[in-house]
Amino acid sequence: MTSTITVAETAAHPTACPAFPFSRPEGFGPPAENAGLRLNEPISKVKLFDGTECWIIARHSDVREVLASDKFSADRRTPGFPEIHAGGIKALKKRPTFVNMDAPGHRSQRNMFESFFTPEAVEKLRPMMQKTIETLLGSMVEKGCQEPADFIRNFAESIPIQIIYRILGVPEADITSLSHHSEVRMNTSGNAAESSEQSLAKYMSTLVDKKIEDPGEDLISTLVLDQYKTGNLDKEDFDNLVFLVLVAGNAAVTNSIAMGVVTLLQHPSQLEEFKNDPSLAGKVVKECLRYNTASALNSRRAALEDTVIAGQKIAKGEGVICLVQSADRDESFFTKGTEFDIHHDYDSKDNLGFGYGPHRCIAEHLARAEIEIALTSLFQRLPDLKLAVPVDQLKFTPPAQNIGIAEMPVVW
Ligand code: HEM
């Protein structure tokens, strides 16, 4: 699966500098610009909200090259790092965590967390995940759908939130009240979101204190014993890292579940096959995650030195946004890349929606398992589930946010 497009074509100079992010007229489908960029201007310049310019990278091979290279920084303090909206700049006020660090600091923090998210560790979490998801599904079903139920509020958004709380070791008695803060933080902006973020951060910092005094058998307690008490981690980094893991993937998992449901409803014969054979869950989720990229704006970098990608010079201090949504449909890499087919044959590592290289999502196996259990349980329990409105009347997230569905009324 190699590119058929020549270096001369890839080196074509951008002719204009459009505003970015592009609009998404088809809801969660890719912006109209993506396919043309892949063909004609795979590395081109765009203008961001504050008037600064940066590069966007549209092809699978070029995205891989950037994300694997140590010539690009993930540190948001690096000159030229591209921010998508003004809110992103607040991240600069905190000490960074490994998601926004370069080697060697990145590796040493990431190492502290890897063992919690290996395929083996995720397998052990399956019974807890299954129970969490079935309980949430049961309460949505119990409420009924005389009035269409919002699939996001009643089911999808609580799944990653409750699961990560249980992994971290949040006491069961606190999960409902704390979930409220996670949901407000995820779904609103301005003061309400800020206040919920502060409440969450304060709660988690106090929980860390309690576990320092009296460790149990959860993720935070393991970090207390292996990293904090051994002097590898101070309290400020500990709190920041716990908060990172608490919030990092919630929206992406929620949106992947919701977009997966809509995509399957739009492909009824494939959905039928999945309902009749739930063992297809792994393939279904792999294809849903490739076809619908819930993390389209996550993989951003700044060049640390002058470098050349596919014939295009990128200068030190210039920003780069990897269009992983475009890369995941790149037809020069994926056969029939713009089509949804649960039998498509490719390696799940080729899905760049989880990133690539040293920063590739640490919790990929966890996220895949959550989505597999959610889609399987849902269509086994509610085989007649359908949208209560046409797809174009769903409420989607705005272009400056990662791709997702904000409201999704369903009936069954
Ligand atoms: C469908 C769900 C998810 C998607 C699509 C996703 C996507 C991503 C992407 C694209 C990156 C790399 C960002 C970059 O290149 O700079 C990343 C990193 C990361 N993700 Fe996820 N993620 C998901 C779920 C999760 C979950 C559930 C968690 C936590 C429990 C999580 C925690 C992290 C962390 C901590 C990193 C930083 C890794 C590093 O920098 O070394 N993600 N994720």
Which residue's alpha carbon is nearest to atom 37 within ligand 1?
99
Q: What is the pLDDT of residues 104-134, one digit of tens each?
A: 999 999 999 999 999 999 999 999 999 999 9
> In the chain, what are the domain boundaries?
7-411
Q: What is the pLDDT of residues 225-277, one digit of tens each?
A: 999 999 999 999 999 999 999 999 999 999 999 999 999 999 999 999 999 99
Centre of ligand 1 from the C-alpha of residue 5, in Å: 30
In the predicted model, is pLDDT for residue 211 greater than 70?
yes
Centre of ligand 1 from the C-alpha of residue 247, in Å: 10
**Beta pairing partners, 150:** 409
**Over the chain, what is the mean pLDDT?**
93
Which residue's alpha carbon is nearest to atom 43 within ligand 1?
361
Give one DSSP letter per residue of 309-347, joined into a string: ETTEEE-TT-EEEE-HHHHTT-TTTSTTTTS--TT----
In the predicted model, is pLDDT for residue 14 greater than 70?
no
Ligand 1 pocket mutation pick from 244, 299, 348, 361 by most atoms within 8 angstroms of CB: 361
At 3, the pLDDT band (50, 70, 90 cuts) reads very low
Cα dihedral value 237, 242, 243, 249, nearest 10: 130
Quickly tell me which residue has 């992406």 as its tokens.
252
Which residue's alpha carbon is nearest to atom 27 within ligand 1?
249
Q: What is the pLDDT of residues 170-208, one digit of tens each?
A: 999 999 889 988 888 877 777 888 888 899 999 999 999
CATH 1.10.10.350 given to domain 7-411: no
Question: Which atom number of ligand 1 is nearest to the Cα of residue 368?
Answer: 1
Give one DSSP letter per residue of 165-220, joined into a string: HHHHT--HHHHHHHHHHHHHHHH--HHHHHHHHHHHHHHHHHHHHHHHHS--SSHH
Ligand 1: residues whose CB is within 6 Å? 67, 74, 98-99, 110, 160, 164, 244-245, 248-249, 252-253, 256, 294-295, 298-299, 353-355, 359, 361-363, 366-367
